[in-house]
Amino acid sequence: MDRRLTFGVVAVTVALSGCTVKQSGVADVAGPSVLATSVDLTAVPDTLVLNGQQSVIVIAAHDSAGSPLVGLHVHLDVLVGSIASFCGGLTPTDVVTNSDGHATAVFTAPTTPLPKPECSGLGSTVTIRAFPVGTNAQTTNSSTASINVLTPSTTTPSKTFAVNFSMSPNPGIVNFPITFSDAGSVSPGHTIATYEWSFGDGTPNKSGSNVVHDYGSRGTYIVSLTITDDIGQSGSKNALLTIN
């Protein structure tokens, strides 16, 4: 008698800055698995200065037909080299995809001098690792994406920018106005010429140091403020806004 066992293959895709990495692994035959699951990670931005700058990590999960995977549990780690570390901050580390198959987290770069031993061995990149949890396949399938990190001494003159803003209320409510205000953004020695806001919901950007915007759907959105000074230098900052 010819007996054969067929093991499923899990494909996990990470897309970051135009680079796609695919990893495949063999799933355990016992219990549930994440077969035909695609998990895409995007970091916005994917380069940070080691002064507390933040990157929003967006997780998008789809099945083999391209449909969103709802309620998928994903665990995130920060790696320095190949070692899990608490270098910088990643919040939260465990997420669940929503009705659109998306979830978000925020990575905060550490500041210099680097904390020890958490950031010992940190080079020019920090790695975010993600894998589905709650399945027997979780330990054999993971995906990684790198974020470039720069020390303040290696940045261009635009490093002097301090971009800060506030959002009120946060969390907000569907169709209820949210006020977005500059909160002390500066370009030392220069004046800020423009403020441009992106709300993360596909609507047109707005300009001005203080603007009002409302959201028509519940969810978590990436809000971005970009400032440009009188000699063309620019800087930006991202933050998460939750709408209930």
Q: For residue 94, is it within any domain?
A: yes
Report CA torsion sign: 74, 127, 221, 23.
negative
Task: Supply the range of the domain harboring residue 124.
Answer: 9-153
Residue 113 contacts by C-beta under 8 Å, 6 or more apart in sequence?
A: none
57 plus 114 within the same structural domain: yes
39 plus 107 within the same structural domain: yes
Domain count, the chain: 2
Chosen domain end from 91, 119, 153: 153
65 plus 38 within the same structural domain: yes
128 plus 51 within the same structural domain: yes
pTM of the model: 0.56
Residue 19 has φ and ψ, to the nearest 5°, of -105, 125
70 plus 25 within the same structural domain: yes
Instruction: Spell out the per-residue pLDDT of the chain, length 244, in tens.
Output: 444 433 333 333 333 333 333 443 444 433 334 456 778 888 878 888 888 888 888 888 888 888 888 999 999 999 998 888 889 989 999 999 988 888 989 898 988 888 888 888 898 999 998 888 865 444 446 777 889 998 875 444 445 668 888 888 888 899 999 999 888 788 888 889 999 999 999 999 999 999 999 999 998 899 999 999 998 888 888 888 889 9
Residue 218 contacts by C-beta under 8 Å, 6 or more apart in sequence?
A: 174, 243, 244
Question: What is the spatial distance between Cα 11 and Cα 45, in angstroms, rounded to a whole number?
Answer: 25
